[in-house]
């Protein structure tokens, strides 16, 4: 091997320049003693470069993230000219099999990082990701959706203090860029603590595949790979459409009444203060309450549930926004 190439060994397998691998985690078995495998697809270019990790399905019912990584593989975008791309389409294979968010032990995988070697099932899996995969990785792109019938406008979540991640976020160029602090015990927080630049993409809702959302995620990923000089010249780099809307502050609007919920505005739309955005009705035709926007801003999350209880979150609305590149 040329001296210019660093040695790269993942899950006990040496990853040579120009090689392709499909490896597996074999961490647990079903009650039937059937082994559950988590595929890890690795492509290393013939030139030296960074190692990028693409992950989806950390919550088993978040299909858009799975589809994003699948498309990167199916279209061979994961075969880099330089560097290495590690793709794990489904981190939570257990939840994916059951079409549910959590691990079989009832735990949210994204709330147990960095995990423990001898803990519960989800914690053990997080521990393996942190110790077997992340040490070899330079950048992480992680794809999520909204949960519990809530639809997210396509956006990146990032801490404004993480300079390297913020640079990548502006290259990814999602329609919205939301500043938010790291949550303890998440994959994102662990990557930050390990000094790994990390992008968290959110878009769409759980248990549904959305072509436009996946398209935004794939396009952003291609822009990042191009910036890192990893993308093959034969793969076109998607154009940047319009400036990303930066969300500094936002708040949830909650239902004042229980009943049938009817949203009147699409997710991602800018609304004005007191604009009519939804109705809540009873099943009997005697009550119809108009929901109005409490302030001007962008709808970045919409509750798609047909029924809501008083106090349920129904819209997530930005409070102040500016175009990318504007002064704060």
**235 class by beta-carbon count within 10 Å (0-12 exposed, 13-18 middle, 19+ buried):** middle
83-120 burial by CB neighbour count: b if 16+ within 10 A, else e?
bbbbbbbbbbbbbbeeebbbbbeebbbbebbbbeeeeb
Domains and CATH numbers, the chain: 9-227 (3.40.630.10), 248-323 (2.40.50.100)
Distance of CA 232 to the CA centre of its chain: 24
Question: Does residue 142 sit in helix, strand or coil?
Answer: strand
Q: How many Å apart are CA 104 and CA 223, to the nearest integer?
A: 36
- Which of the residue ranges 27-36, 58-67, 296-305 would you say has the lowest mean pLDDT? 27-36
Handedness of CA 57, 58, 60, 64 (dihedral sign): negative
pLDDT score for 3: 45
Give CA separation, 172 vs 17, 110, 113, 265, 306, in Å. Answer: 26, 23, 25, 27, 34
Helix (H) or strand (E) holding 115: none
pLDDT tens per residue across span 159-211: 989 999 999 999 999 999 999 999 999 999 999 999 999 999 999 999 999 99
Query: Which tens digits make up the pLDDT trace of 52-69?
Result: 999 999 999 999 999 999
Say if residues 113 and 134 touch (Cβ distance below 8 Å).
no
C-alpha 224/C-alpha 173 separation (Å) is: 9
- Helix or strand holding residue 106 (H, E): none
Proportion of the chain above pLDDT 70, given as a percent: 95
Q: pLDDT tens across 237-275, in order?
A: 998 877 899 999 999 999 999 999 999 999 999 999 999
């Amino acid at each position: 091997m040329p001296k210019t190439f660093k040695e790269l060994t993942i899950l006990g397998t040496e990853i040579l320049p120009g090689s392709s691998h499909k490896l597996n985690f074999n961490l647990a078995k079903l009650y039937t003693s059937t082994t559950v495998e988590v595929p890890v697809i690795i492509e290393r270019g013939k030139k030296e470069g960074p190692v990028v990790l693409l992950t989806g399905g950390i919550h088993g019912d978040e299909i858009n993230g799975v589809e994003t990584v699948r498309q990167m593989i199916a279209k061979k975008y994961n075969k880099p000219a330089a560097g290495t791309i590690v793709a794990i389409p489904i981190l939570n294979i257990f939840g994916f099999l059951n079409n549910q968010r959590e691990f079989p032990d009832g735990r949210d995988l994204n709330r147990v990082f960095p995990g423990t070697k001898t803990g519960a099932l989800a914690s053990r899996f997080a521990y393996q990701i942190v110790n077997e995969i992340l040490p070899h990785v330079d950048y992480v792109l992680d794809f999520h959706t909204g949960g519990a019938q809530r639809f997210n406008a396509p956006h990146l979540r990032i801490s404004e203090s993480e300079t390297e991640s913020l640079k990548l976020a502006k290259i990814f160029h999602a329609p919205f860029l939301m500043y938010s602090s790291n949550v303890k015990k998440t994959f994102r927080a662990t990557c930050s603590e390990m000094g790994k630049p990390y992008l968290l993409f959110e878009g769409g809702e759980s248990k549904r595949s959305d072509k436009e959302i996946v398209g935004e995620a794939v396009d952003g990923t291609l822009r990042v790979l191009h910036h890192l000089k990893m993308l093959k010249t034969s793969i076109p780099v998607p154009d940047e459409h319009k400036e990303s809307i930066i969300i500094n502050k936002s708040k949830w609007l909650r239902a004042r009444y229980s009943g049938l919920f009817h949203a009147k505005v699409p997710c991602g739309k800018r609304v004005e203060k007191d604009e009519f955005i939804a109705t809540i009705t009873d099943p009997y035709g005697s009550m119809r309450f108009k929901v109005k926007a409490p302030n001007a801003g962008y709808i970045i999350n919409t509750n798609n549930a047909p029924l809501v209880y008083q106090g349920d979150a129904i819209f997530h609305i930005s409070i102040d926004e500016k175009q990318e590149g504007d002064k704060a």
